[in-house]
Amino acid sequence: MFSTYEAVEVGATTTHGEYEMTREEILTFAEQYDPQPFHTDEEAAESSLFGGLVASGWHTASATMRLVVDGILEDSGAMGAVGVDELRWPNPVRPGDVLSIDVEILSKEPWREGIGVVRTRIDTVKTDGEVAQSYVGRVLYPMTGE
Amino acid sequence: MFSTYEAVEVGATTTHGEYEMTREEILTFAEQYDPQPFHTDEEAAESSLFGGLVASGWHTASATMRLVVDGILEDSGAMGAVGVDELRWPNPVRPGDVLSIDVEILSKEPWREGIGVVRTRIDTVKTDGEVAQSYVGRVLYPMTGE
């Protein structure tokens, strides 16, 4: 979306999506990366805090990243990310949920020689309007001085 | 590791591992969830800030979660996670890097009726000793009142 640090518009808000979280992908991801019973076992999940199978938060974060890349970073000047603050999972993602992202550019400032850092709020929203995940990311962009 | 909130020992430090980040898995993960050129394309990665192919930070986070589950959460009373603070990727993960985790229980406090929240620092360390990722997680445990 933005080719350089200078092109980044603080205050801009956009929406991108969709990503469907299928039961099969929830199970495949969890078996490899997060094999807790409420992510891998329907029956065990029924008696968990969630009352049914839910996606790993890291799966939601990864699917969100795909929406970020397709919606914002592809063909942009983004050089990588420093990190993420306040990553929260306020509502669980269940099989069949379709995710989209609400993006807000919060701020930008110089980071190192020729590179700036952009703070962006990314909310991951389900079709029913519930926020499944939120965080503030810090992404690097080249500064051209123009 | 801990069956209940009461059993959680604040100040405890442990180390768990290993998880090998193969070139194949780095590419497979990135193609699905984080298709930026420095994660999916060797040649493009050469001229990136990283100087070569590196794993998606979300892949490192997911591999870290597997070490957390195998090392700490399996057969524990953990009920899920509220979120993560200060997620940082100070050094990139490259093909062949082997990850382990250094864990420190920072604090615990009541959350809701019958549930407590435990703050845990998780550092993901490469064989060469460099920290690839760090964060502070918040995990829920059942309170028995005992």
Q: Give the pLDDT score at A51.
A: 95
Q: Give the pLDDT score at B77.
A: 87
- The 8-class DSSP code of residue A5 comes to T
CB-CB neighbors (< 8 A) of B88 in chain A: 82-83
**A interface mutation test: which of B65, B67, B91, B101 has the most A CBs within 10 A?**
B65
**Cα atoms in the 13 Å half-sphere on the side-chain side of B12:** 14
The proportion of chain B whose per-residue pLDDT surpasses 90, expressed as a percent, equals 87
User: Cα B38 vs. chain centroid, distance in angstroms?
Assistant: 21
CB-CB neighbors (< 8 A) of B65 in chain A: 33-34, 56, 58
Chain B residue with minimum CA distance to A62? B33
Q: Give the pLDDT score at B21.
A: 98
* Residue A5: inside a domain: no
Residue A105 lies in domain:
13-142
Q: Are B55 and B92 in contact (CB under 8 A)?
A: yes
pLDDT reading at A77 higher than 90: no
Number of structural domains, chain A?
1
**A interface mutation test: which of B38, B58, B135 has the most A CBs within 10 A?**
B58
Chain B residue with minimum CA distance to A47? B79
* Residue B87: inside a domain: yes
Q: Backbone dihedral region of B145: left (phi > 0), alpha (psi from -120 to 50 degrees) or beta?
A: left
pLDDT reading at A43 higher than 80: yes
* Residue B110: inside a domain: yes
* Residue A7: inside a domain: no
Q: Which residues contact A84 (CB under 8 A, 6 or more apart)?
A: A135, A136, A137, A138, B84, B87
Q: Answer yes or no: do B32 and A73 touch at CB < 8 A.
A: no
pLDDT digits (tens, 9 = 90+) for B98-115: 999 999 999 999 999 999
pLDDT digits (tens, 9 = 90+) for B48-65: 989 999 999 999 999 999
Q: Which parts of chain B register pLDDT below 50? A: none
* Residue A2: inside a domain: no
In SS3 terms, B53-91 reads as: CCCCHHHHHHHHHHHHHHHHHCCCCCCCEEEEEEEECCC
Mean pLDDT of chain B: 95
pLDDT digits (tens, 9 = 90+) for A95-134: 999 999 999 999 999 999 999 999 999 999 999 999 999 9
* Residue B70: inside a domain: yes
Structure tokens at B19: 């998880």
Burial A21-52 (b: 16+ CB within 10 A, else e): beeebbbebbebbbbbebbbeeeebeebeeee
B126: domain CATH number is 3.10.129.10
* Residue A64: inside a domain: yes
Structure tokens at B69: 């589950």
* Residue B113: inside a domain: yes
- The 8-class DSSP code of residue A31 comes to H
ipTM of the complex, rounded to two decimals = 0.94
**Measuring CA to CA, how many Å separate B119 from each of B1, B116, B122, B134?**
15, 10, 10, 13
Structure tokens at B76: 């524990």
Structure tokens at B80: 């899920």
